[in-house]
């Protein structure tokens, strides 16, 4: 660690050289230097591709490099991804396309090509795997790496290898990434989002001080419902969470309270586990009013199955099973799991399995949340194979593809199934 008043060590972002006090790199003359007192000690990295879908499209159409580009549906659709030029106009993911076009009439709208995005994602993962076997993909455009203990192997600290990785991804694959480097997964993720695009942010011992003034929503895992609960306790910032003792946290917030306060201080004990690849593909919703009946819960479950199916396809996976998640009005969680006969991304198959699980839980209990998740991910090309026991599989796949194409062109409300229609009171 650098002493008081000394220039901290740095890494050249263009060649990966380790630097002392020089303002520019003596090897390549670059002035893109990232410095931090602990930059040579830290080894957990979060990699986040910058505006991934839009970046892949710009790579393949260089004439669009300086143009505002979004990936998404037609004039009645929504924005799936927006490049950074488009974001200067206030355009964001999930924005209705008509609003995006109103904000920027010159906007270039491109239909999604998920096969192309999956291919680029796999190329990036292959480069990551050259640095360490401890690579845990989190989505199609994010992964966390554990580079601790690799310095001798690469004859360079993790920070240097990450700088070289960023340059290789840009040169060989044609997209850019942002890097977060820290002591643990939580802080590396937060670091990766602080300096986008083409960012390289390092967070060390100052983690708690960085988090303290932030809203509690800044912490992954704190959603609107928990934010409201914390607000009722007079807790609005992570700094206020940091001050709670373990006993106070448990008394006020239940069994999860102490771990929540640890995360508020920047402490995270999760390991990087390649076997838990994209474990968290799921969808859930919290009700404005508690629900108890099968019909009420099924009405909320179906759109979640459609959302889960879409997220699986976007990430390049199919699921071997479903996980039903319920949370009671008293915050007690119930989790039930069902394996599918074959891997699938069909919303109907996900719904049928989840509905069977739900029927066993409807017993008069009031529920405040319902969710569905994937269990056992396999590559997308294994989804919904021909099945002698279900000769209609090919027709179901074709029908779903037709629905997806119509929604991509005309928007998510263009077509749907009867069970997705609003029910009369």
Residues classed as catalytic: 142
The residue among 159, 163, 200 whose CA lies nearest residue 178 is: 200
Q: Whole-angstrom distance between the N-terminal and C-terminal Cα of the chain?
A: 65
Euclidean distance between CA atoms 283 and 305, whole angstroms: 8
Euclidean distance between CA atoms 213 and 351, whole angstroms: 42
Q: Which two tokens stand for residue 208?
A: 């708690």
Q: In a 3-state reduction of DSSP, which class is residue 4?
A: coil
What string of DSSP letters covers 51-119? Answer: THHHHHHHHH-GGGTTS-EEEE-STTSBEEEE-HHHHTTT--TT-BHHHHHHH-TT-EEE---HHHHHH
Are the C-beta atoms of residues 216 and 238 closer than 8 Å to each other? Answer: yes
Which residue bears the tokens 């008043």? 5
Strand 108-110, strand 69-72: pairing: parallel
The residue among 24, 49, 29, 278 whose CA lies nearest residue 180 is: 49
Q: What are the residues whose beta carbons fall under 8 Å from the beta carbon of 400, sequence distance 6 or more?
A: 309, 346, 347
Q: In a 3-state reduction of DSSP, which class is residue 401?
A: helix
Give the torsion sign (CA, 325, 327, 328, 334): positive
- Dihedral angle of Cα 204, 208, 209, 214, to the nearest 10 degrees: 120
Residues in the chain: 425
* Beta bridge partner(s), residue 46: 144, 180
The secondary structure element, H or E, covering residue 202 is strand 200-202
Q: In a 3-state reduction of DSSP, which class is residue 302?
A: helix
What string of DSSP letters covers 326-344? Answer: EEETTS-EEEEEEEEEEEE
Q: Which two tokens stand for residue 80?
A: 């799936």
Cα 324 to the center of its chain, rounded Å: 20
């Amino acid at each position: 660690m650098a002493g008081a008043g000394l220039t901290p060590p740095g890494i050249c972002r263009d060649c990966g050289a380790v630097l002392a006090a020089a303002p520019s790199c003596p090897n390549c003359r670059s002035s893109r230097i990232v410095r931090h007192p602990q930059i040579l000690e830290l080894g957990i990295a979060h990699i986040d591709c910058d505006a991934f879908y839009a970046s892949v499209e710009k790579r393949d159409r260089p004439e669009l490099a300086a143009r505002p580009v979004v990936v998404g549906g037609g004039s009645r659709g929504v924005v799936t991804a927006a490049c950074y030029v488009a974001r200067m106009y206030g355009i964001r993911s999930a924005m209705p396309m008509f609003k995006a076009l109103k904000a920027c009439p010159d906007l270039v709208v491109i239909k999604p090509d998920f096969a192309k995005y999956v291919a680029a994602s796999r190329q990036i993962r292959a480069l990551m795997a050259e640095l360490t076997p401890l690579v845990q993909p989190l989505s199609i455009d994010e992964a966390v790496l554990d580079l601790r203990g690799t310095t001798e192997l690469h004859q360079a600290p993790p920070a240097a290898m990450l700088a070289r990785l960023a340059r290789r991804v840009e040169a060989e694959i044609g997209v850019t990434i942002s890097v977060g480097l820290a002591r643990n997964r939580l802080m590396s993720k937060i670091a990766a989002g602080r300096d986008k695009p083409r960012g390289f942010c390092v967070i060390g011992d100052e983690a708690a001080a960085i988090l303290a003034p932030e809203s509690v929503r800044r912490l992954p895992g704190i959603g609107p419902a928990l934010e409201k609960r914390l607000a009722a306790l007079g807790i609005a910032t992570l700094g206020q969470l940091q001050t709670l003792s373990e006993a106070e946290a448990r008394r006020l917030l239940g069994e999860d309270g102490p771990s929540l306060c640890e995360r508020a201080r920047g402490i995270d004990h999760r390991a990087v586990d390649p076997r838990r690849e994209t474990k968290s593909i799921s969808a859930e919703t919290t009700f404005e009013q508690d629900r108890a009946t099968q019909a009420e819960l099924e009405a909320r479950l179906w759109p979640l199955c459609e959302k889960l199916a879409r997220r699986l396809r976007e990430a390049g996976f199919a699921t071997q099973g479903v996980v039903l998640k319920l949370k009671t009005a008293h915050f007690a969680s119930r989790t039930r799991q069902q394996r599918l006969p074959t891997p699938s991304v069909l919303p109907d198959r996900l719904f049928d399995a989840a509905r069977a699980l739900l029927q066993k839980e409807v017993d008069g209990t009031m529920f405040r949340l319902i969710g569905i998740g994937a269990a056992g991910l396999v590559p997308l090309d294994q989804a919904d194979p021909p099945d002698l026991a279900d000769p209609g599989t090919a027709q179901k796949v074709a029908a779903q593809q037709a629905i997806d194409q119509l929604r991509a062109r005309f928007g998510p409300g263009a077509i749907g199934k009867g069970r997705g229609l609003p029910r009369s009171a």
